[in-house]
Amino acid sequence: MMFCEGCGIQLQMEEESKPGYIPDAALEREHKYCKRCYRIRHYNELSTVDHDPGIYLQILGQIAQTDSLVVQIVDLFDIAGSWIPGIHRHIGNNPLLLFGNKIDLFPQSVKTGKLKEWMHSYAKELGVKPVDVVVGSAAKQEKMQEVREAIERYRQGRDVYIVGVTNVGKSTFLNYLLEEPIITTSPYPGTTLDVIHIPLDDDRNIVDTPGIVKKNRLSEWISPKELGEVIPKSRLNPKVYQLHSDQTIFLAGLARMDYVEGKRQPFTCYFSNRMYLHRTKTEQADVFSEKHLGGMLQPPADPKDLPALQKHRIVLTGTQKQDIVISGLGWIACGKERGVVDIFAPKGIEVTLRPSII
């Protein structure tokens, strides 16, 4: 029995259309990858795979029966969307180390210390007490030596389980720890399909687990071809809009924000630099959407690819700066004025209000 070194799936040579297929000739290679991983690694070819969230949660739940250090990778760009619900119940009494990934996407003025404090507070509100929090970037190798030292300090001779939801950068993170790019990485969620055990020098293992699928994140609904426009890969250039009430911002064809009531104030949009944003008067928004959805307002190129939009009413308190977060897409930092905002996002996508992260 053999397993793909890239995604962990059991290899098979019978059915080319099914996951895990490897041609006979590929068995002679030093590193054995399934056809899907091989084409991702060499041709950047993306393909979808059906995922069963129940199986992934079952794998996660087995960690409680082990004696190990658990490292949860959290996407700083989408903290709520990339948090594993009930993580403390899944891992039992094992210590938890948090790594906030993708610090490289934030403006250089943002202090890492503040983000660490923010993550500590967020975890505490959810009843989670991590042994430590490190923020950095696996892709840019920022603060990675710090997290490596933290892992060695807290694991104390135990196995290390790497966990996270899809598309948080787990495989990139793990490849850095291994100092060799063995695990397959791609911008499409769910690249790792099964657990991967990597032996350490002390007869223990680093265990890479499949990403947990959360369908309330917009990034899970977007096609591989269009995902590159939505998932940021470079430092964000936030766009600031000074809005009066009865003005609207379209977030490509994926979502929209209506400023319903309140004084003129700034709204700062933190989304992928490649994503098209458009401001218009709310009274013209419906007509503009009908005319340009799937054209100027894309992704998606085909609006039928997403569920119908659902309205979320947000009341800004005016007592502190707040962020409106659209899970898997980004966030809008609001000014300090009281106000009422309507967010239209595909049905089932999580929309939340939080204290400003920046």
The pTM of the whole model exceeds 0.75: yes
* Bridge partner residues of 327 (DSSP): none
Q: With 80 as the cut, is the pLDDT of residue 53 above it?
A: no
Q: Can you tell me the mean pLDDT for 56-76?
A: 89
Contact 38, 26 (CB under 8 A): yes
Tokens of 198: 């990597």
Question: What is the per-residue pLDDT across 203-231, written as a single tens digit (0 to 9) for each?
Answer: 888 888 877 878 899 988 888 788 888 98
Q: What is the DSSP string of 201-247?
A: TTS-EEEE-PPBP-TTSGGGTS-HHHHHHHS--S----EEEEE-TTE
CB 103 within 8 A of CB 142: yes
Is CATH 1.20.1740.10 the classification given to domain 53-214? no
Q: What is the pLDDT of residues 134-159, one digit of tens each?
A: 999 999 999 999 999 999 999 999 99
Token pair listed for 135: 């923020």
Q: Where are the domains of the chain?
A: 1-45, 53-214, 239-355
Q: Write down the residue that tokens 């060695």 correspond to.
A: 152
Q: What is the secondary structure of 118-179 as a DSSP string?
A: HHHHHHHHTT---SEEEE-BTTTTBSHHHHHHHHHHHHTT-EEEEE-BTTSSHHHHHHHHHT
- Say if residue 355's pLDDT is above 70: yes
